[in-house]
Amino acid sequence: MYDAPLRKTDVEANEIKISAKDVQVYYGDNHAIKDVSVELQDKTVTAFIGPSGCGKSTFLRCLNRMNDTIDICRVEGLISLDGEDIYDKRVDPVQLRAKVGMVFQKANPFPKSIYDNVAYGPRIHGLAKNKAELDEIVEKALRRGAIWDEVKDRLHAPGTGLSGGQQQRLCIARAVATEPEVLLMDEPCSALDPIATAQVEELIDELRTKYSVVIVTHSMQQAARVSQKTAFFHLGNLVEYGETSQIFTNPVDSRTESYITGRIG
């Protein structure tokens, strides 16, 4: 399965990585996600689109239980990763998040050196036995984050000193350093300029060969450019889910069509 780079066409061949059934999310009294059922495929970029406040980020944060850190948030329904319920009481959210990494809207490098930023995950998960192995992991992650060439001479400079686009790629490198199986991205390009956006998008396409990537985006062009599958959320409902090409050219639901043509949003 891992022996050949995938091409865009054989998306159908991929197995289901994450499956969600009848998911409800409440913020206090507010019913934020209603009855969402979706199956996300491995080695695929899935885009979540929809107007602001439609619940796409909330749903994304359910997939690695980041919502656990918010006291008033309650999740119902079944979400499983490789067939295992991630909200099972026996599941350690820490182990889950090691498998399902996340990149955030605003680049959030730790106020440490570039090296320590990337090494943080491998260190806490004990992925390296010694310094040499750790060096190797860090270099590999930075290469995969497409930022190695820019920072290799200043690995010990603070990560907060990089430019916005570099910071975001550093955060992606930091996320892939822990060897996740799924990578969640919450509007990773919303704070970036077009050139940095293009670099990150190119990177996302590369990452697809190894991970299942879920990306929340406001930009429909971006969804069309990077994703193979698209899910359209509206007012907490999953309105439509399917091949990106189909959603954008021939949507089934009238709300999807309205959004894509710019009438709601």
Distances (CA, A) of 90 to 60, 70, 85, 166, 253: 21, 20, 10, 38, 39
Burial status of residue 120 (CB atoms within 10 A of its CB: 0-12, 13-18, 19 or more): middle
99 binds another protein (CB under 8 A): yes
27 binds another protein (CB under 8 A): no
User: Which residue's entry shows tokens 């930023």?
Assistant: 117
Site for another protein (CB under 8 A): which residue of 24, 27, 34, 206? 206
Question: Smallest gap, in angstroms, from Cβ of residue 85 to another protein?
Answer: 8
102 binds another protein (CB under 8 A): yes
56 binds another protein (CB under 8 A): no
Question: Smallest gap, in angstroms, from Cβ of residue 37 to another protein?
Answer: 20
108 binds another protein (CB under 8 A): yes
Give 62's contacts (C-beta < 8 A, 6+ positions apart). 20, 23, 25, 33, 75, 79
120 binds another protein (CB under 8 A): yes
Give me 262's structure tokens. Answer: 């710019």
Q: Report DSSP letters for 70-125, one per residue.
A: STTEEEEEEEEETTEETT-TT--HHHHHHHEEEE-SS----SSBHHHHHHHHHHHH
181 binds another protein (CB under 8 A): yes
64 binds another protein (CB under 8 A): yes
137 binds another protein (CB under 8 A): yes
Closer residue to another protein (CB): 135 or 179: 179
97 binds another protein (CB under 8 A): yes
DSSP annotation of 158 = B
CA dist 3 and 210 (Å) reads 11
Q: Could you list the residues that contact another protein (CB under 8 A)?
A: 2-5, 64, 66, 69, 71, 81-82, 84, 86, 88, 90-92, 94-99, 101-104, 106, 108-112, 120-122, 124-128, 137, 140, 143-146, 148-149, 171, 174-175, 178-179, 181, 184, 202, 206-207, 209-210
